Structure 1
Amino acid sequence: MTDIIFESWSKTLEVALLTIISFVTLFVFIRISGKRTLAKFNAFDFVVTITLGSVLAYMMLGQVNLAEGTVVLFIIIAMQLLFAKLSRRSHVMDKLLNASPKLLFYQGLYLHDNMEKEMVSKDEIVSAIRQRGLADISKVLAVVIEPNGEMSIIEGSKDGGSSTLHQLEKAVQDAS
C-alpha cells in the first residue's frame, strides 16, 4: 500500500532521468519531422500536451505512484519554462528551439527547395489558396508556411506599402 504514494528515492530519480531523456527525445523528433506534424501547435505546446496527457494517464491508472508522477509533471513543466526562457533570451536558442516561417510560393514561383524541406506539395499550396477564397493564383504574392504548420496566403499589394514578408523576401533574394 505504501508504494502508491512513494516507493524509493532511487526509483523517483530514475523516473526523473527517464522523463528528461524522453522529453528531449520527443522534442527532437517533433523538430525533425517538421511543422506539418504540429498542425496549429508550436513545439512546446505539442510536446507538453502529449507528455502531460501520457503521464496523467499512467498516474490515473496507477502505473506510476503519486511521487513519481508528480516529479515527472514538475520536470515537464520546468523544462517547458526553461526552454521558453532560453528562447526569449538568446537568438541562437530561439532559432534552435523554434521553427521559423518559410516561403513556399513567391511572385508566381513555387520554391521547390522549401516545399521539399517542409514536405508540402503544389496541390496543398493551391488548396490553401482556394480555401482563402482566391480563384486567381496571379493575385497571390506569397504563400508562407508558419511555425505552427498553417499556410498564410498573402495577396499582392497595389499601394506598395510595407511588407510583412521583408525577412522572408530577403532570404529569397540571398538564395538567388
Structure 2
Amino acid sequence: MDWIYQSDDPILATIIGSFLLFVAIIIITRLIGLRSFAKFTAYDFAFTIAIGSIISATLTSSTTIVHGVTAIAALLILTFIFSFLQRVMPIIKKVTSNKPLLLMDKEEILNENLKHARIEKAQLIAKLREANVMSFDQVEAVVLESTGDISVLHRSDDEDHLHQDLLEGVRKTP
C-alpha cells in the first residue's frame, strides 16, 4: 500500500512548496506579460500550471496519491483564500491581476502602450480588420484586456458614441 500513503511523506513540505510554486508562477507571468497566455489572468495561469504539474508528478513519479491530493487541495484552498483576499484587499488584486491597457484612443494609435504590451502595430491592425473597422475614424478605443485579448470598440455610424463606463479601470498609460 506504499503507493497510497507512505508514513514519511512530507505533507507540510508539499503545502509550502505548492504555495511557493503558485506565487512564483504569478510573479513570472506578471513580469513577462500575458500575451502568450491569452484568455488567462496571471492568477488563472499559475493555478492551471501548478495543478497540471502536480497531476503529472503524481502520475509519473514516486509521489504518492495522498501527496498529490494534498498538494492539489493546498492549491485549491490557496485559490479560495486569494479570491477572498482580492475582494477585501484591493492591493492583492492589483498585485495578482493585470489592468486593461488602452492601445488606441479614437484614431490615435498609442505606440508607447503597444511597445509596453509587446504588441506590433500589424497585430493591432489585424484586430481592427477582424472587428470590421473600415477606417480609423470609426475607432472609439482599442483595449488590451486583463486576459490578453484585444477588444475593439468602434462605431458603425456618426450617431454612435462610446459610453465612458466601458473604459472604467482601463489604464491610459503603461
TM-score range, shorter chain: 0.7 to 0.9
Aligned to 1:103, what secondary structure does the other structure show? strand
State the 1:27 CA deviation. 1.2
Q: What 5-or-longer segments of structure 2 have no aligned partner? A: none
Structure 1 segment 1-176 matched on structure 2, within 5 A: 1-2=1-2, 4-8=4-8, 11-156=10-155, 158-160=159-161, 162-163=163-164, 164-168=166-170, 172=172
Identity of aligned residues (%): 23
TM-score normalised per structure 2: 0.86
Whole-angstrom CA distance in 1 between matches of 2:48 and 2:69? 16
Letter in structure 1 aligned against 2:152: I
User: Residue deviations 1:52-76, cap 9 Å, x none?
Assistant: 1111122122431122112210111
Aligned length: 170
Aligned to 1:142, what secondary structure does the other structure show? strand
State whether residues 83 and 97 of structure 1, in contact with CA within 8 Å, keep that contact through their aligned partners in structure 2. Answer: no
Whole-angstrom CA distance in 2 between matches of 1:109 and 1:161? 15
State the 1:160 CA deviation. 4.1
Whole-angstrom CA distance in 1 between matches of 2:139 and 2:31? 29
Aligned to 1:29, what secondary structure does the other structure show? helix
Aligned to 1:14, what secondary structure does the other structure show? helix
State the 1:39 CA deviation. 0.5
Whole-angstrom CA distance in 1 between matches of 2:58 and 2:168? 48
Letter in structure 2 aligned against 1:2: D
Whole-angstrom CA distance in 2 between matches of 1:117 and 1:73? 35
State the 1:47 CA deviation. 1.5
Whole-angstrom CA distance in 1 between matches of 2:110 and 2:159? 23
The ranges of structure 1 where at least 4 consecutive aligned residues each deviate by more than 3 angstroms after the TM superposition are none
Q: What 5-or-longer segments of structure 1 have no aligned partner? A: none
State the 1:45 CA deviation. 2.0
Structure ranking higher in helix proportion:
1
User: Residue deviations 1:29-88, cap 9 Å, x none?
Assistant: 111111213211122222211111111122122431122112210111111111111111
